[in-house]
Amino acid sequence: MARRPLPRILTTGGAQLARSRELARTAADNATDVLHPLIVIARGLRRLAAAGRRRWAQTPKDRRGPVLFLVGSVILVVAMVPYGPLLAALTVTAAAAWQGRDRTPPPSEDPAEPRTQRLVALYEALVPYFSAAGDPDPLYAHGGAWQKAFPDHRFDDSGRLCHLVIRYPAHFTDGEPEARARIEHLLAAKAGRGREYLFTWNEEDNELAVTALAPLPHGIPAQRFVTAPGETVLGFTDPGEVPRTLPLSFGEEQRDVPPVVWRTGLRSTEPHLLALGQPGSGTSTLLRSIALQALRHGDVLVVDGGGTGEYACLTGRDGVLAVECTLGGVLASLEWAATETERRLVAVNRARQAGHPPPDDTRRPLWLLLDRPTAFTHLAASDGRKDPQTLLQMPLRHGRAANVTVVVAEQFDSADALCDAVRQHTRARVVLGPATPEQVKAVLGAPPHTTPPAAVPPGRGYARLGTGPVHRLQVPATPDPYDDTVSEELRRAVLDLLPPRTTPPDGERVPENGTPVSEETAKAAEAVDAVGTVETVDASMTTKAAVPDRS
């Protein structure tokens, strides 16, 4: 029996049928777009009619007659009013269009979905570090429940993680710094780069709290801080890290900022300070800020090893003994500082043996501020002269008893040239500018508890006083007031804090070098010319002032 061929439409008409269906679908879509207003009105009329039927069914039978009479009266009145039927038709059409609109709510995006994905990714990244083979009930496993591992988490308005509490198994070696560093590096990368994170390890409960820290304010200008004598504000830190705040003026507003206060004097356990940083990190700004605060209650001797003249604004001011930037002047000034320290020690010892209070000329604080002193070390070695750092041994070793404070600022590339006395007796430490955790630990003696930020403004770093905790630090803006590249507001703030110019008292003569020297001072200078020191008599107290022997 011969097989009958299939119809032509079933063999060769597949493409035509598909094309016909596509044309029909396109025509239907176009017709729907064109007739969409009519469809909406028809849907609205149907909904109004359904609502009317429901209302009529709910009306009691004894009230249906009055309702029909009222509806008929309204229709009669509308028909008698000019343009009444037209207005009634427009009203019904508008009501039908409103009732026939599409009420389907748009699909809302779940804001928690991206955040959940972030937590799942973070959980999966921690599995290789917190999982152990043979654990019968693992807290971390691929595809496990992250809700048990993250009991608390918060996100900011931008959807970034700002706080997270992580539970980790007891077998994790949380007492090893290397293991902690690996976890902190992973969390800083997964939680979002470009921010600083604070890691708080709770070994007793096997929990780790990760908090994204807000950036420290870096535009606070130099001003008079509400501090007691012997207190110096190094900068500002995070709220809750220190038990006090200072009222500060920040532009036109007033705010309370937690400070990092360094205490000096007879009972200080950190009488001297060392600041290290990269070029342009703000170490000179820190020295200027300390100098402005020290001049309120003491005398200042500045050694400028950078040779850029950033301390020229202090020259000739009340309380500023000298601003030295040459090798000869530095040697003479530091030699006088060592002699002055020894003199104060002898005077204090004699007064105590006699049962008297210390003399007044030993109570006024003396500050030695040295910016890059290693530059003079190389110059002294090339000239075959004494290293100026060797003259700091007396002020560093006995400065606390003599009310003498030494502040040294140096760069990282020259830190190896610092003498042993500076390294041993500077228990207050500051690191400014970009630095690795290893560099911060080498200087401060402890690693920072926060991740280093991506961008570091000038004056931003870490501080540690003795064996205390490591604090984030932001030095107040104290630029060179003679620098035209700085804003006028910041320069004016520094100029307002500078003491007035020194005015020579009556009876003084001006020698050839232009320095006012009285007759008594000239006689004393001739007697101690070999040492290069003079004794000047002030109206209020007796102090020692350096006379550099630059010959």
Overall residue count recorded for the chain in this entry = 551
402-425 burial code (b ≥16 CB/10 A, e <16): bbbbbbbbbbbebbebbbebbeeb
Looking only at the bridges linking them, the beta strands covering 533-537 and 517-518 are: unpaired
Measure the CA–CA gap between 370 and 301, rounded to whole angstroms.
8
Q: Residue 167 forms beta bridges with which residues? A: 207
Measure the CA–CA gap between 482 and 249, rounded to whole angstroms.
23
Known binding-site residues for ATP equal 277-284
Where are the strands (E) in 113-203, listed by range? 152-155, 161-167, 196-202
Known binding-site residues equal 277-284
DSSP state, 79?
Answer: H
CB atoms within 10 A of CB 357: 10
Measure the CA–CA gap between 425 and 395, rounded to whole angstroms.
10
Could you tell me the two tokens for 226?
């509400």
483-513 burial code (b ≥16 CB/10 A, e <16): eeeeeeebbebbeebbeeeeeeeeebeeeee
Looking only at the bridges linking them, the beta strands covering 196-202 and 542-546 are: unpaired
Measure the CA–CA gap between 121 and 20, rounded to whole angstroms.
49
Could you tell me the two tokens for 213?
């820290």
User: Which residues are CB-neighbours of 196 under 8 A, at least 6 positions away?
Assistant: 212, 213, 215, 450, 451, 452, 453, 472
CB atoms within 10 A of CB 256: 11
Measure the CA–CA gap between 130 and 138, rounded to whole angstroms.
9
Place of tokens 């605060």: 293
> Could you tell me how far CA 264 lies from the centroid of its own chain?
26
Question: How many Cα atoms occupy the beta-carbon half-sphere of 435 within 13 Å?
Answer: 32
Could you tell me the two tokens for 233?
């504000």
Q: For residue 463, what is the enclosing H or E element?
A: strand 460-465
Q: For residue 45, what is the enclosing H or E element?
A: helix 36-58
User: Which residues are CB-neighbours of 425 under 8 A, at least 6 positions away?
Assistant: 271, 272, 396, 397, 406
Measure the CA–CA gap between 113 and 294, rounded to whole angstroms.
56
Nearest 10 degrees: CA dihedral of 144, 145, 150, 154? 120
